[in-house]
């Protein structure tokens, strides 16, 4: 089975399909034993929803799946995970080899559990009012747009903040009112609950003369269908924060307290139900708790260098403060999304756990009026064909595995649920480990986790040909339509004897392996120096090549099999990427980029590591081009897609023709068509993409061309300028891919000789 088939069938991509049987041999394969898993992937061939409870193994709680053997005579089924025997439950009494339920045929199924419906999802909007009037107006328009897009039963609340926090009353009121909480106070959630009177505040008669308790929280959290008018009035009434801003000072902002209040609103009234806090931020918090910079402009926002050298006096404290919010949100199962719109940093780096652990999104843009915010915000609230939001809530994912392997951890937009078990590795931890279950406060069809495993078989333990390992992913979540779902994917993979390195080699998915390693390397940045991480990547790559490459007498004889041939180049680009090289990026930008690498699927993550390049010219149809400076030609146009931005780049001659207006002349219709083709393609890429990508047009030698140049292999650099004549070159001392490969071949060969 090929990799994309498996991905289409189960949303699963393994670093390699076949694994060596013993711990020792598995370690020697160098690449991590791991999978990229997209629990909510839209699978074409998944059977219709199963409208009943799944059946599980009495011993290990794994769910019934195609690898279970049924014995209709004895009325039992055998669990392949633990070899346990289970009675066939009465509802399956008809079961037979020719009459199997869907979960026994399909490796991925989704159950719709027979439960009462969950209430509609809730959104608490948190709006920063310390922005210019023009910006505030656009932000308010976007909020209006959002509530027009989501289904009318959706619950909303509005919290605005500046120096203080305003919680706006949306229900049981005829006039615009709000509760004010002090921005510089560290309220506990109980404090907030008391101050806002979120408990039961009275009773209300409903149909049939019964009276029901009225939650204080419903004054703030109301369905759009009920509160649209009030919501609009509140927004219309909302002004810029009135607190005066002194010269050479920043506005007083209480981002932390505002988030804390929003989380408390949901904690006390929506615990266990789907909800998101959607924060629109225009600047950094300047008040404690959570302050990241002083009020005075003379104090500048911390840089990477400051954080590394411990010259960032507020950093640790702020991280700690925001971590407590993240923990509260995770415990309640709620998500925090941050839309930051500012030309300078707003403290995303300190807030990263709030977003990354709760499955939220970071969206950054230079202003609320910029399309990167406006379009992303709209896309975020778009409903699908069924008129429901394209997201699931209150998710959890549990991994089961057969006894030869243990779970080492997960990297992705998840938090630990601290469920230990004997399938959890005690020895290694990759990402968030020490548990077999993770919380996914929200998830959508693109949410992709990487799960890392450890082989625990001893070298001496007997191996039987044709033996399988089993892994099952069980993802429970609340669908946006209010139903409770359980998606189950069960995977069986072959073991091979350790010496059988060919089998392992031919089953490696280099794309998945590269992304799995990339996520590990980014995870390491939390605790290790960049330099050490690069060294680690280099060592891994050398070892991998010395394990899987074939060598000869000369360096030229070095070769990797086709399914591994691109892997070194992925590593070359990963080393150079903004995920590991933070120079010229602010900590906020870094938090943003890394967040996406850790949540997108293999294809998108790989695109972030190694962008795609397409070349257009007059004489041949558009074709993929090498990600190399030599692809720049005076008479071609290049289209580069990096996931975060898309750039259309005109070669020098084409740019001259365009500037001279030739394309307006009907005689040169072909030029016009050539100019339009890459733009159309760029537009269709961007239309599909969340967050909305930056779109750039550039000409060779122009300022914007750097968006392209920085991503190309500098095969021609200023060091060999004399030979190149008119060809574009790159001014860099970075090693080219060729130099990198030469060094790699040498080192790998040496490492083979030494072992």
Ligand X SMILES: Nc1nc2c(ncn2[C@@H]2O[C@H](COP(=O)(O)OP(=O)(O)OP(=O)(O)O)[C@@H](O)[C@H]2O)c(=O)[nH]1
153 binds other proteins (CB under 8 A): no
Binding piece for other proteins, criterion CB under 8 A, among 178-186, 393-401, 682-690, 703-711: 703-711
Residue 304 interacting partner from other proteins, Zn ion, ligand X, none (CB closer than 5 to 8 Å by kind): other proteins
333 and 270 in contact (C-beta within 8 Å)?
no
Burial of 465 (0-12, 13-18, 19+ CB in 10 A): exposed
Interacting positions 639-668 with other proteins (CB under 8 A): none
Q: How far is the CB of 730 from ligand X (least distance, A)?
A: 7
Binding residue for other proteins (CB under 8 A) from 71, 87, 311, 664?
311
If one asks whether residue 710 binds other proteins (CB under 8 A), the answer comes out as yes
In the complex, the residues that contact ligand X under the rule CB under 6 A are 706, 731
Enumerate residues 714-753 that contact other proteins by CB under 8 A. 714, 718, 730-734
Q: Are 20 and 500 in contact (CB under 8 A)?
A: yes
What number of CA atoms fall less than 13 Å from residue 160's CA on the CB side?
Answer: 21
Complete DSSP assignment for 329-389: HHHHT-EEEEEEE-SS--SHHHHHHHHHTTT--EEEES-TTSHHHHHHHHHHH-B-TTSSB
Q: Give yes or no for a contact between 214 and 353, defined as CB atoms under 8 angstroms apart.
A: no
- Specify the residue, 345 or 595, whose C-beta has the smaller distance to other proteins: 345
| Cα 526-531-533 angle, rounded to 5 deg | 55
**Residue from 45, 97, 210, 248 binding other proteins (CB under 8 A):** 248
Radius of gyration over every alpha carbon of the chain, rounded to an integer in angstroms: 28
| Contact code string over 534-573 relative to other proteins, x by CB under 8 A | ----------------------------------------
Q: Counting contacts by CB under 8 A, is residue 218 touching other proteins?
A: no
Minimum distance between the CB of residue 638 and ligand X, rounded to whole angstroms? 16
Shortest CB 608 distance to ligand X, Å:
21
Report the residue number, 503 or 586, with the smaller CB distance to other proteins: 586
d(CA 46, CA 65): 14
Residues that bind Zn ion (CB under 5 A): 57, 59-60, 62, 79, 81-82, 84
- Does position 305 interact with other proteins (CB under 8 A)? The reply is yes
Q: Interface with other proteins includes 303 (CB under 8 A)?
A: yes
Query: In angstroms, what is the minimal distance from the CB of 594 to other proteins?
Result: 15
Specify the residue, 311 or 731, whose C-beta has the smaller distance to ligand X.
731
In this structure, are residues 606 and 514 in contact, taking their beta carbons and an 8 Å threshold?
A: yes
Choose one: 272-280, 499-507, 630-638, 704-712; the region binding other proteins (CB under 8 A).
704-712
Residue with tokens 């016009």: 672
Which does residue 369 touch among ligand X, Zn ion, other proteins, none (CB within 5 to 8 A, set by kind)?
none
- Residues 268, 714: Cα–Cα separation, whole Å: 56
Q: What Cα–Cα distance (Å) separates residue 173 from each residue in 167, 178, 222?
A: 14, 11, 12
Q: Choose one: 55-63, 303-311, 445-453, 672-680; the region binding other proteins (CB under 8 A).
A: 303-311
- For helices 133-149 and 224-237, angle between their N-to-C axes, nearest 10 degrees: 170
Q: Return the structure tokens found at 681.
A: 């393609």
d(CA 568, CA 717): 21
Residue 299 or 628 having the CB closest to ligand X = 628
Residues making contact with other proteins (CB under 8 A): 248, 296-298, 300-301, 303-306, 309, 311, 343-345, 366-367, 583-586, 588-589, 702-704, 706-707, 709-710, 714, 718, 730-734
């Amino acid at each position: 089975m090929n990799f994309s088939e498996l991905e289409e069938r189960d949303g699963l991509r393994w670093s390699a399909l076949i694994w060596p049987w013993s711990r020792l041999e598995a370690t020697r394969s160098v690449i991590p034993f791991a999978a990229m898993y997209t629990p909510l992937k839209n699978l074409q061939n998944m059977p219709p929803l199963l409208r009943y409870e799944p059946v599980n193994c009495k011993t290990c709680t794994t769910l019934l799946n195609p690898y279970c053997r049924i014995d209709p005579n004895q009325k039992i089924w055998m669990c392949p995970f633990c070899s346990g025997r289970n009675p066939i439950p009465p509802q399956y009494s008809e079961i037979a080899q020719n009459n199997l339920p869907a979960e026994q045929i399909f490796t991925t199924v989704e159950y719709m559990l027979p439960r009462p419906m969950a209430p509609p999802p809730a959104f608490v909007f948190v709006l920063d009012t310390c922005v210019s009037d023009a910006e505030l107006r656009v932000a308010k328009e976007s909020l209006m747009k959002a509530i027009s897009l989501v289904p009318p039963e959706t619950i909303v609340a509005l919290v605005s903040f500046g120096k203080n926090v305003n919680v706006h009353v949306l229900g049981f009121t005829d006039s615009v009112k709000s509760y004010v909480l002090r921005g510089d106070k560290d309220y506990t959630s109980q404090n907030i609950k008391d101050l806002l009177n979120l408990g039961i505040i009275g009773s209300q008669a409903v149909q049939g003369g019964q009276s029901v308790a009225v939650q204080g929280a419903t004054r703030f959290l109301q369905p759009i269908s009920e509160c649209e008018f009030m919501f609009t009035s509140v927004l219309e009434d909302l002004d810029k924060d009135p607190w005066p801003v002194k010269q050479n000072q920043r506005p007083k902002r209480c981002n932390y307290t505002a988030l804390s209040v929003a989380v408390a609103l949901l904690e006390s009234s929506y615990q266990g139900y789907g909800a998101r806090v959607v924060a629109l931020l225009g600047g950094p918090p300047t008040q404690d708790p959570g302050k990241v910079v002083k009020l005075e402009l003379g104090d500048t926002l911390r840089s990477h260098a400051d954080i590394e050298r411990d010259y960032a006096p507020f950093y640790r404290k702020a991280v700690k403060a925001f971590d407590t919010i993240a923990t509260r949100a995770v415990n309640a199962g709620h998500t925090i999304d941050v839309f930051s719109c500012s030309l300078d940093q707003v403290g995303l780096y300190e807030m990263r756990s709030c977003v990354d652990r709760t499955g939220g999104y970071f969206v950054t843009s230079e202003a609320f009026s910029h399309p990167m915010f406006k379009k992303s915000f709209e896309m975020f609230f778009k409903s699908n064909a069924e008129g429901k939001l394209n997201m699931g809530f209150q998710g959890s994912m549990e991994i089961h595995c057969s006894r030869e392997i243990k779970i080492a951890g997960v990297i992705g937009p998840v938090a630990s649920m601290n469920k230990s078990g004997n399938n959890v590795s005690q020895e290694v931890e990759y990402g968030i480990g020490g548990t077999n279950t993770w919380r996914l406060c929200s998830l959508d069809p693109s949410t992709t986790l990487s799960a890392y495993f450890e082989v625990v078989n001893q070298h001496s333990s007997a191996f039987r040909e044709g033996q399988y390992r089993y892994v099952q992913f069980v993802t429970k979540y609340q669908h946006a339509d209010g139903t409770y779902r359980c998606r189950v994917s069960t995977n069986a993979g072959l073991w091979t004897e350790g010496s059988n390195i060919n089998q392992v080699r031919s089953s490696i998915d280099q794309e998945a392996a590269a992304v799995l390693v990339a996520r590990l390397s980014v995870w390491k940045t939390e605790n290790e120096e960049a330099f050490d991480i690069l060294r680690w990547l280099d060592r891994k790559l050398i070892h991998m090549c010395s394990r899987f490459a074939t060598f000869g007498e000369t360096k030229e004889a070095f070769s990797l099999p086709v399914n591994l041939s691109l892997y070194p180049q992925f590593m070359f680009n990963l080393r150079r990427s903004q995920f590991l090289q933070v120079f010229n990026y602010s900590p906020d930008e870094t938090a943003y980029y890394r967040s996406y690498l850790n949540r997108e699927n293999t294809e998108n993550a790989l695109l972030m590591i190694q962008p795609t390049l397409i070349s257009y010219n007059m004489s041949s149809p558009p074709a993929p081009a090498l990600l190399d400076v030599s692809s720049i030609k005076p008479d071609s146009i290049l289209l580069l897609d990096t996931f975060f931005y898309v750039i259309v780049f005109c070669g020098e001659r084409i740019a001259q023709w365009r500037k001279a207006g030739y394309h307006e002349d009907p005689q040169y219709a072909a030029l016009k068509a050539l100019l339009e083709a890459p733009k159309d393609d760029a537009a269709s890429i961007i239309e599909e993409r969340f967050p909305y990508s930056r779109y750039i047009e550039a000409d060779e030698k122009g300022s914007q061309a750097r968006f392209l140049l920085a991503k190309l292999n500098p095969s021609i650099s200023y060091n060999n300028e004399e030979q190149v004549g008119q060809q574009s070159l790159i001014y860099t001392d970075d090693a080219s891919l060729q130099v990198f490969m030469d060094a790699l071949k040498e080192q790998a060969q040496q490492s083979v000789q030494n072992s």
